[in-house]
Amino acid sequence: MAVLVETSLGDIVIDLYTEERPRCSLNFLKLCKIKFYNFCLFHSVQRDFIAQSGDPVGGGQGGRSIWGRVRGEEYNMFEAEVSPRLKHKKLGTVSMVDNGSGLHGSQFFITLRENLSYLDGKHTVFGEVAEGFDVLSKINEAYCDKDGHPFQDIRIYHTVILDDPFPDLEGIL
């Protein structure tokens, strides 16, 4: 269960925890399938912390889940799958961004260093980077303003599903 994320700085392969985080994994895979993430910015890069993407508007306030896409606005967010068993201990951990109410949409982040345990229980870990650590290093070194917005755009150009164990949702395409 993997996705290739082609960015302006190189390619990243993300392995998903489909058994442990089925809703987050399904959401991410199906958003990739409909090309939702294509041309999304990494709108927030905080050196030695996280790189955040998944807002199609690029400001960090937007985005919706795959269920919002197929069922309507009231399903834009879905409940977090938070468990202390999966932790933010590795460089390249991939998590859904919590909106502050225990809900997720489309935004996600990738950790840019190890041992970020204070994120545990707040954001849902659903995968890890398997390839492309050189790209994470380039993202981490990006020059950013005081709010973490890179001066030079870092974009997701395209996502390619390498392995998808989930059937498609009705109305997805």
Q: Has residue 169 been placed in a domain? A: no
Contact between 3 and 10 (Cβ < 8 Å): no
Query: Does 16 score more than 70 pLDDT?
Result: yes
Q: How confident is the model over 106-124, as pLDDT tens digits?
A: 999 999 999 999 998 889 9
Contact between 122 and 116 (Cβ < 8 Å): no
Entry pTM: 0.94
User: Which tokens belong to 85?
Assistant: 């068993």
Q: Has residue 171 been placed in a domain? A: no
Q: How many CB atoms lie within 10 A of CB 157?
A: 13
- The mean pLDDT value for 88-92 works out to 96
Q: Which of 51, 37, 33 is nearest to 162 (CA)?
A: 33
Distance CA 38, CA 122 (A): 26
Query: Does 14 score more than 80 pLDDT?
Result: yes
Q: Has residue 153 been placed in a domain? A: yes
Looking at residue 59, what is its pLDDT?
Answer: 67
Distance CA 98, CA 22 (A): 16
Sequence-separated (6 or more) residues with CB below 8 Å from residue 59 = 43
Q: Has residue 172 been placed in a domain? A: no
Q: How many domains does the chain have?
A: 1
Q: Has residue 173 been placed in a domain? A: no
CA angle 169, 66, 29 (to 5 degrees): 75
The CATH number of whichever domain residue 44 belongs to comes to: 2.40.100.10
Per DSSP, the three-state class of 29 is: helix
Query: Does 93 score more than 70 pLDDT?
Result: yes
Query: Does 24 score more than 90 pLDDT?
Result: yes
Q: Has residue 67 been placed in a domain? A: yes
Residue numbers of the domain that contains 88: 2-163
Contact between 4 and 13 (Cβ < 8 Å): yes
Q: Has residue 115 been placed in a domain? A: yes
Q: Has residue 83 been placed in a domain? A: yes
